[in-house]
Amino acid sequence: MNRIADILENIKTVGIAGHVRPDGDCVGSCMGLYLYLKEWYPQIEADVYLDRPREVFSYLSGMDEIRTECSGEKEYDLFITLDVSSLDRLALAGTCFEKAKNTLCIDHHVSNPGFAKINHIEGDVGSACEVLYTLLEPEKVTRPIAEALYTGMIHDTGVFQYSSTTPRTMRIAACLMETGLDFKRIIESSFYEKTYVQNQVMGRVLAESILIMDGAFIIGYLKHKDMDFYGITSKDLDGIVSQLRLTKGVAAAMFLYEYASQSFKVSLRSNGNVDVSKIAVYFGGGGHMYAAGFEMQGTLYDVINNVSQHVERQLSGE
C-alpha cells in the first residue's frame, strides 16, 4: 500500500484503535490518522478508540472526541489498528475489529505476525507515526496532524536518540516542524515533565535496583504495595526503564511492576548486545530488538530469575 487513499475509496465508516495502556506513539498515530480523515475525508464517519490516554497528551486536537468504551454493535466498512503488535494487544474494540468488513494494521513491531486482512508493517522503523506519515499526502499534514505524529515519533525514539532513528526519521520530523508546531512544548510537557510523586517513585526504583552479570544487566522493580503507598498507577511509571538503561556499562535493563498479586508487567530495554524482542516473544509479549515487554505471573524472584537466564544466554553467545 503506497497511500492510505488507496484503501479509502467507497468507504463510509472507519474505526481506529490502538493498544492497551496507550503510549505516545499509540496516541499520536491514532489521533494523527483520525484528524487526517476528519480534515480531508469529511464524508467518512470516523471513530477513534483509546484506552484512557494520559492527561499529558491533552494538548492534541480531538482528544475530547476519543471513545473509551466500545459496545461492539457497530459494523465498520474499515477498521484500522495502529501501533498494535498482535490482536490480543488491541484495546477496547476487538469486537468491532472482528465485525468490520475490512481491516488494516499499520505498525512497526518486528514481532507483529500480520493479523489484519491488509498489513502494512515496517519492523525496522522507529515509530508507528513514522510509518503512518509515509502513507499520508505530505501537503495535507496540517499543524494539528503534525503535532500528533511528532508526539509519537519523539516518544518511541526517545527524542531521536534510539538507534531506530534514521535520516528519514529526521527528514519527516523536519517536515512536521515546518507546520509551525511548538516542538519544545511537546517534548517537555509530554516526554520529560514529571510530577513530584513520579520523581519520588523513579528515585526509589533506581536506589533499590539490582546490578548483576558483572554489571551487564540492571533490574528495577516496584511491588503492588509500593504502588498503593504512593497512590500511583502504571501511567506514572513511564521513563523508569529508559533511565535504568542509561546506567554505564549495562547491556540491558528490566523494569517490572506488580499490577495485581503475583502478576507483573515487564519492560525490557537493550543497548544493542541483547535482542529483547526475542525474550519478550518467548514469554508471550513482543516489541523490538531494543525495546520490548510482556506480562508474567509468579513471585518477583521467579520473574527476575526467568528473564535473567535468557539475558545471560544471549550475552554468552548461546
User: Following DSSP, what letter does each residue of 197-244 receive, concatenated?
Assistant: HHHHHHHHHHHT-EEETTTTEEEEEE-HHHHHHHT--GGG-TTHHHHH
* Cα atoms in the 13 Å half-sphere on the side-chain side of 216: 14
What three-state secondary structure class fits 136?
coil
Inter-axis angle of helices 24-40 and 143-156, nearest 10: 160
Give the C-alpha separation, 260 to 243, whole Å: 24
CATH number of 196-315: 3.10.310.30
Q: Are 82 and 106 in contact (CB under 8 A)?
A: yes
Give the C-alpha separation, 153 to 129, whole Å: 6
Q: Are 215 and 249 in contact (CB under 8 A)?
A: yes
- The reported pLDDT for the residue numbered 31 is 98
User: Following DSSP, what letter does each residue of 141-156 receive, concatenated?
Assistant: --HHHHHHHHHHHHHH
- The reported pLDDT for the residue numbered 71 is 84
Which residue bears the cell 484528524? 35
This model's pTM is above 0.75 = yes
Give the C-alpha separation, 80 to 7, whole Å: 11
pLDDT averages per 10-residue partition of the chain, 318 residues: 93 97 96 98 98 94 96 93 94 94 96 94 95 98 98 95 93 98 96 95 98 98 96 93 96 97 97 94 90 95 97 92
Q: Which fold has domain 4-192?
A: inorganic pyrophosphatase (n-terminal core) (3.90.1640)
Partners of 257 in the β-ladder = 222, 265
Parse the chain into domains and list their residue ranges.
Answer: 4-192, 196-315
Give the C-alpha separation, 146 to 250, whole Å: 35
Q: Are 61 and 86 in contact (CB under 8 A)?
A: no
- The reported pLDDT for the residue numbered 317 is 86
What three-state secondary structure class fits 51?
coil
- The reported pLDDT for the residue numbered 81 is 98
- The reported pLDDT for the residue numbered 221 is 98
DSSP state of 191: I
Give the C-alpha separation, 15 to 72, whole Å: 11
Q: Could you tell me where the DSSP H helices lie in 41-93?
A: none
φ, ψ of residue 227 to 5 degrees: the values are -65, -40
